[in-house]
Amino acid sequence: MQFRGDLPTPALLLDLDAFESNIATMAAHLRVRGKGFRPHGKTHKCPEVARALVAAGAIGCCAARLAEAEVFADHGIPGLLITTAVIGRDKIARAVTLAKRAPDTIFCVDDEANARDLNAAAQAAGVTVLVAIDLYFGRTGILPGAPALALARVIATLKNLTLMGLQSYDGDAAHTTPFDARKLRTDGSMAQAIETKAMLERDGIACPMITGGSTGTYRFDSENPGITELQPGSFVFMDLDYGRIGGADGPEYRDFKNALTVVTTVVSRPPGFAIVDGGYKAFSTDRPFTPRPVDLPGVTYGWAGDEHGRLNLADSPRELKVGDRLEFIPPHCDPTVNLYDSIYALRGDRVEAVWPIAARGKSQ
């Protein structure tokens, strides 16, 4: 049996009580409102996390890339939705192979030539591939409205593709601040998706699904009668970035608990500072703020290279010495998770399980 203090550092830790609370909160919220729940696997890249979500009522799992989806399929996770278009001969061949063994997998498309290539490969393999039209809200996708309708008309002629609906993810809405502005942003984007669905249906094209939403917008999207399912991801772990977006009751977003931390060890103690063994290789570096130490108010973290972090102890509430172990909330959970091979799942201080991050590095 292992305990928190036994683990080599740096290591990725998961507080199971907080993690299970986060899942229960989101699942119950969506269930009461009659929304499908297809959380995004790009956050955790971990089949055990996906299984916990399916056990809580998720209809499947989103994947950012084909390679992620292949890993989830290998572990028996159903209802996959690949949110990035599959482009190129090799990836299309892999997509068709995946559709054969996991026929409920949905692939996003936003380009006519790509849709035709996917259909040709599916026809040659004798399979039908499920697709969703990816709508543009600032990242990938085709413009809502007439352009999306034109693509839907093409898909309707392709006998080995079946249109399932619209992928309607507005990534910028998730972190729009303050709270009321976030509602306006996502309501405006989703209104375009809903009108696009209506245009398709007036044209005689079935469009049963509108999927989208995020940890930051789930409150609003779940109240929208036109949205059929939501795909939040970060809520399972949370991070500093989401904590800063603000909630209905103030500047801190408190709908979900911080369940994910990185544990480090103090390896050196120069005057006024403590050096820990967690640097650029232990935390995501894509945000303009640094990891926050847990239960150490007044202490700030600064980058000190690939392997190290520097803590300013000028206002530390307690003395630190070499060998002390400190935990940090990461700035951004998704890319931090991708730095590790496994997650140590803890119940209190006891390691209950070690979960492989099986889709780590699967960016193809």
Q: How many structural domains are present in the chain? A: 2
> Do residues 51 and 96 share a domain?
yes
At residue 43, the pLDDT reads: 98
In the predicted model, is pLDDT for residue 147 greater than 90?
A: yes
The verdict on residue 320 lying in a domain is yes
The verdict on residue 244 lying in a domain is no
Nearest by Cα to 166 from 179, 149, 182, 180: 149
Q: What is the mean pLDDT of residues 191-207?
A: 98
At residue 1, the pLDDT reads: 85
pLDDT digits (tens, 9 = 90+) for 331-344: 999 999 999 999 99
Burial level of 311, CB count in 10 A (0-12/13-18/19+)?
A: buried
pLDDT digits (tens, 9 = 90+) for 228-245: 999 999 999 999 999 999
> Do residues 297 and 234 share a domain?
no
Please tell me whether the peptide bond between 10 and the residue prior to it is cis, using omega within 30 degrees of 0. yes
Strand partners, 356: 342
Last-in-domain residue among 239, 272, 288: 239
> Do residues 53 and 116 share a domain?
yes
Range of the domain at 288: 4-10+254-356
Q: What is the mean pLDDT of residues 183-197?
A: 98
> Do residues 168 and 233 share a domain?
yes
What is the spatial distance between Cα 124 and Cα 356, in angstroms, rounded to a whole number?
Answer: 36
> Do residues 189 and 304 share a domain?
no
In the predicted model, is pLDDT for residue 355 greater than 90?
A: yes
In the predicted model, is pLDDT for residue 29 greater than 90?
A: yes
What is the spatial distance between Cα 170 and Cα 147, in angstroms, rounded to a whole number?
Answer: 18
What is the spatial distance between Cα 307 and Cα 301, in angstroms, rounded to a whole number?
Answer: 13
Last-in-domain residue among 213, 239, 265: 239
> Do residues 133 and 258 share a domain?
no
In the predicted model, is pLDDT for residue 121 greater than 90?
A: yes
The verdict on residue 145 lying in a domain is yes
The verdict on residue 161 lying in a domain is yes
The verdict on residue 59 lying in a domain is yes
Mean pLDDT of the chain: 97
> Do residues 234 and 272 share a domain?
no
> Do residues 182 and 155 share a domain?
yes
> Do residues 228 and 287 share a domain?
no
Q: What is the mean pLDDT of residues 276-301?
A: 96
Q: What is the mean pLDDT of residues 203-217?
A: 98
> Do residues 213 and 137 share a domain?
yes
Last-in-domain residue among 204, 239, 274: 239
> Do residues 154 and 264 share a domain?
no
The verdict on residue 229 lying in a domain is yes
Q: What is the mean pLDDT of residues 298-304?
A: 97
Distances (CA, A) of 247 to 217, 220, 243, 287, 317: 10, 12, 9, 20, 29
What is the spatial distance between Cα 65 and Cα 83, in angstroms, rounded to a whole number?
Answer: 7
The verdict on residue 247 lying in a domain is no
What is the spatial distance between Cα 69 and Cα 38, in angstroms, rounded to a whole number?
Answer: 13
Is 123:130 a contact under the CB 8 Å cutoff? no
Percent of the chain with pLDDT over 70: 100
Q: What is the mean pLDDT of residues 296-305?
A: 97
CATH number at residue 43: 3.20.20.10
CATH number at residue 316: 2.40.37.20
> Do residues 175 and 219 share a domain?
yes
Strand partners, 355: 343
3-state secondary structure labels for all residues of the chain: CCEHHHCCCCEEEEEHHHHHHHHHHHHHHHHHCCCEECCECCCCCCHHHHHHHHHCCCCCEEECCHHHHHHHHHCCCCCEEECCCCCCHHHHHHHHHHHHHCCCCEEEECCHHHHHHHHHHHHHHCCCEEEEEEECCCCCCECCCHHHHHHHHHHHHCCCEEEEEEEECCHHHHHCCCHHHHHHHHHHHHHHHHHHHHHHHHCCCCCCEEEECCCCCHHHHCCCCCCCEECCCHHHCCCHHHHCCCECCECCCCCCCCCEEEEEEEEECCCCEEEECCCCCCCCCCCCCCCEECCCCCCEEEECCCCCEEEECCCCCCCCCCCCEEEEECCCHHHHHCCCCEEEEEECCEEEEEEECCCCCCCC
Distances (CA, A) of 55 to 82, 99, 338, 342, 360: 21, 23, 24, 21, 23
Is 77:52 a contact under the CB 8 Å cutoff? no
What global pTM score does this model have?
0.96
The verdict on residue 53 lying in a domain is yes
